[in-house]
Amino acid sequence: MGKAERERLNQSLSGHLNTIHETLQLLDQTPASSLDKLSWDDVVKTGDQVSKQATIAGMLWTGETPEAKAVEENMVTYFNTLQGLLLLSHGSMVGAGPTLSSAIHASIKQVVDCSFKLMMETVSSYGSRNKDFKLVVPQLVGAVWEACDALKKTPASNITAIGRAMTQVAVSVKDVLREMKELKPGPSNQTEAASDDVASHDDTRLNDNDSLSDDLGNDLSPEEMKVAQSAIGVMTETVVVLKELIRTITGLLKQEKPEDTGNFVDTLEKLLKLCQEIGVQIDELGASLYPPQEFPALKAALEKISSIIDEVQSKVESLTSPSEAIFKACNDLKSSMKQMEVTLDCCSTSEIESTMQNVSLG
């Protein structure tokens, strides 16, 4: 089985790959809003056809090496189906904002990448005596199946895509909140510290593989602990705001229309960006709570979150019939941040007084 047949298959494959690459670039371009939006269901159905073609491609290699003609015919059918998938995907992106476009592009790119690996492996191994090849093909076919199946979970609307992205931010904030709840106060005085050191000597030897992160929060002073508790309150209220915002956004699902390419989608995208900025500030808040606590950084994060929440409220007001729950959640968060600011001011004063006393005693 010769070299000439493999060379011909390689040339044919190269042509198909180039065509798909060119078509894939379409997904980087926003389709004209004047076009009819195609249904994502049609994309999913075509993805099922790609899966079937991958199965057929794999079955060609279950026995003896197939004829080059059979491989080439399968290749033509496979890439024609894949081409159709790309064109349908582009048509489904009419009216899509950046978040939805990115989700669609990522899902389709995965199908393309897995398809390329399958076809390139089968062609490059044509006529080979490599026994492992027949073990590799089912894995490559399986990867195509998974990529095509993932199309069913890909968001089909701006609201769904943005709602999922907001959910990721909420999960991240909850992770930070969980870490902050694990912070513990250190010994209240040196005698207690010495006693604890002796009592925990054996435990330390048994647990010397624990991560450093387990020890980071174990020496918070009473004042620092108060700050941490107030920050936990802020983070808890932030999660509530994000949940209510997600509920507000997903509640608009029935109102989204293919022609909504202007202010509606722009507002949703802006709200997502604001959520992501909140997530960044919560990370900063959490990082600044470990000793020695950075009061200026904590105050700066609170100021930024407060400003972002003002923008969130303004954007939500522009949506159709927003729920009062989101505004209540925002106001509760603002109250929690004010309480934390008071705590920071009190702790700053206590720290200055303590420093002055130490200087006087010295």
pLDDT at residue 350 greater than cutoff 90: no
Cα–Cα nearest to 96, from 265, 298, 281, 327: 265
Tell me the per-residue pLDDT of 131-166, one tens digit each, with 9 for 90 and over: 677 788 899 999 999 999 999 999 999 999 999 999
Is residue 159 a contact partner of residue 253, using CB atoms and an 8 Å limit?
yes
Residue that is written with structure tokens 């042509």 in the block: 15
Cα–Cα nearest to 234, from 322, 323, 168, 299: 299
Return the domain boundaries, the chain: 1-154, 162-184+221-352
Rounded distance, CA 34 to CA 261, Å?
Answer: 10
Rounded distance, CA 2 to CA 359, Å?
Answer: 90
Token pair, residue 90, equals 């582009």
Rounded distance, CA 275 to CA 245, Å?
Answer: 9
pLDDT at residue 259 greater than cutoff 60: no
Token pair, residue 167, equals 């959910």
Q: How would residue 354 be classed by pLDDT, with cut points 50, 70 and 90?
A: very low
pLDDT of residue 93: 94
State the architecture of 162-184+221-352 in CATH terms.
Up-down Bundle (1.20)
Percent residues over pLDDT 70 in the chain: 82
**93: phi then psi, degrees, rounded to nearest 5:** -90, 5
The one-character DSSP state at 39 is P
pTM, to two decimals: 0.83
Rounded distance, CA 7 to CA 99, Å?
Answer: 42
Q: Which residues are bridge partners to 185 per DSSP?
A: 220
User: In degrees, to the nearest 5, what angle opens at C-alpha 151 toward C-alphas 57 and 55?
Assistant: 15
Rounded distance, CA 74 to CA 55, Å?
Answer: 11
Domain boundaries 1-154, CATH class: mainly alpha
The one-character DSSP state at 150 is G
Q: How would residue 195 be classed by pLDDT, with cut points 50, 70 and 90?
A: very low
Cα–Cα nearest to 240, from 343, 340, 99, 336: 336
Find the mean pLDDT for residues 266-275. 96
| CA 210 remoteness from chain centre | 29
Find the mean pLDDT for residues 67-80. 93
**206: phi then psi, degrees, rounded to nearest 5:** -75, -25
| CA 358 remoteness from chain centre | 49
Rounded distance, CA 50 to CA 67, Å?
Answer: 22
Cα–Cα nearest to 102, from 154, 47, 166: 154
Rounded distance, CA 208 to CA 313, Å?
Answer: 48
H helix count then E strand count, the chain = 13, 0
Find the mean pLDDT for residues 337-343. 95
